[in-house]
Amino acid sequence: MTTIPSFTLNDGNQMPAFGFGTFQIPADSSTKAAVATALRLGYRHIDTAAAYFNEREVGQAIAESGIPRDQIWVTSKLWLQDYGFEAARTGVDTSLQKLGLNYIDLYLLHQPYGDVPGAWRALEAAQQAGKIRSIGISNVTPRLWAKFVPDFDVRPAVNQVEFNPYFQQQPLRALMASTQTMLEAWAPLGQGNPELFQEPVIQALATKYKKDAGQIILRFEYQSDVVVFPKSVHEARIASNQDIFDFALTDDEMVSMQALDKGHGRHDPDAPGVAERLLGVFDVHADQ
């Protein structure tokens, strides 16, 4: 079984550097089955969210795994409907109830819009109460960072954003270094972008190390001190995704991967109308 290394967050907590994502896995027993498979194969970091509508199945898989609770890192996220201090307090409790847990290891503000300050204060209070171990943010760009983060009493432990070789978030990472905030990658494989997978440098490294293109990409991200949690519902892919700890890219190879950066991604949190569109997409209260 693969031993997963950890990164130390700015609050001192140790978070597994590699995990399992559940975005867009339906709550029709598919999430429960996929998480159970991941845990059986050695994963100890599971990422979910209120707006994924599968927190219950994540919790069921954890409860039935037989693995001690303190050996599994669980991340969830608060949706925009529950921003503001009182609403966010209720949202945290709802996530705990759905997951069937006494605490959540990492809880994020899923989107940086609306009453972010009030929601953040609620996360700080929940952390003080022992309901959450680490608190963080998601989809926060340099502009949104400057708008909100300097006024937070507690530094975000994590910022979960789009990250892959085509979008390496260099300006944001420079800003996050001031607070030692860890970057977590959503879409670490570029959402399966075939152009990325066929990049000559990635193909050459895959041949050299006898790995597939996805494993090369994930290894690059791990060596870039980025937390990754690819998603799959297929056991073979769940197993192979974490098979990245038996080799290392050289400094020159890392530079060649860094050269793939295009400086932009598929999602722009700063674009006009994003907040309004997202608020209309999910009704997390319909799942309660």
> 207-263 pLDDT, tens per residue?
999 999 999 999 999 999 999 999 999 999 999 999 999 999 999 999 999 999 999
Residue 206: pLDDT above 70? yes
Half-sphere exposure of 226 (CA within 13 A, CB side): 27
pLDDT digits (tens, 9 = 90+) for 163-203: 999 999 999 999 999 999 999 999 999 998 999 999 999 99
Q: pLDDT averaged over the chain?
A: 96
Rg over CA atoms, the chain: 18
pLDDT at 1: 64
83 is catalytic: no
Give residue for tokens 């290891």: 105
Kindly name the residue from 52, 83, 166, 222 that is annotated as catalytic.
52
In whole angstroms, what is the distance from residue 172 CA to residue 175 CA?
5
pLDDT digits (tens, 9 = 90+) for 261-288: 999 999 999 999 998 899 888 889 887 6
- How many other CB atoms sit within 10 Å of the CB of residue 286? 7
Q: Report pTM.
A: 0.97
CA distances from 72 to 92, 103, 110, 277 (A): 19, 11, 21, 34
pLDDT of residue 131: 98
Q: What is the pLDDT of residue 282?
A: 81
Single-letter amino acid code for the residue at 96: L
Looking only at the bridges linking them, the beta strands covering 20-21 and 104-109 are unpaired
In the three-class reduction of DSSP (H, G, I as helix; E, B as strand; rest coil), residue 156 is classed as coil
| CA-based nearest residue to 84, from 53, 102, 109, 52 | 109
Nearest Cα residue to 13 out of 134, 145, 186: 134
Q: CA 148, CA 204: separation in Å to the nearest integer? A: 42
Question: Span 154-162, mean pLDDT?
Answer: 98
Q: Mind listing the pLDDT tens digit for each residue in 104-141?
A: 999 999 999 999 999 999 999 999 999 999 999 999 99
Query: Which of the four pLDDT bands, split at 50, 70 and 90, describes residue 3?
Result: confident
Find out whether 41 and 61 touch, Cβ atoms under 8 Å.
no
pLDDT digits (tens, 9 = 90+) for 11-22: 999 999 999 999
Supply 51's token pair.
């707006």
* Beta pairing class for 6-8 and 14-16: antiparallel
C-alpha distances in angstroms, 10 versus 63, 95, 127, 283?
A: 29, 24, 14, 33
pLDDT tens for residues 64-119?
999 999 999 999 999 999 999 999 999 999 999 999 999 999 999 999 999 999 99
Query: What is the bridge-based pairing of β-strands 132-138 and 104-109?
Result: parallel
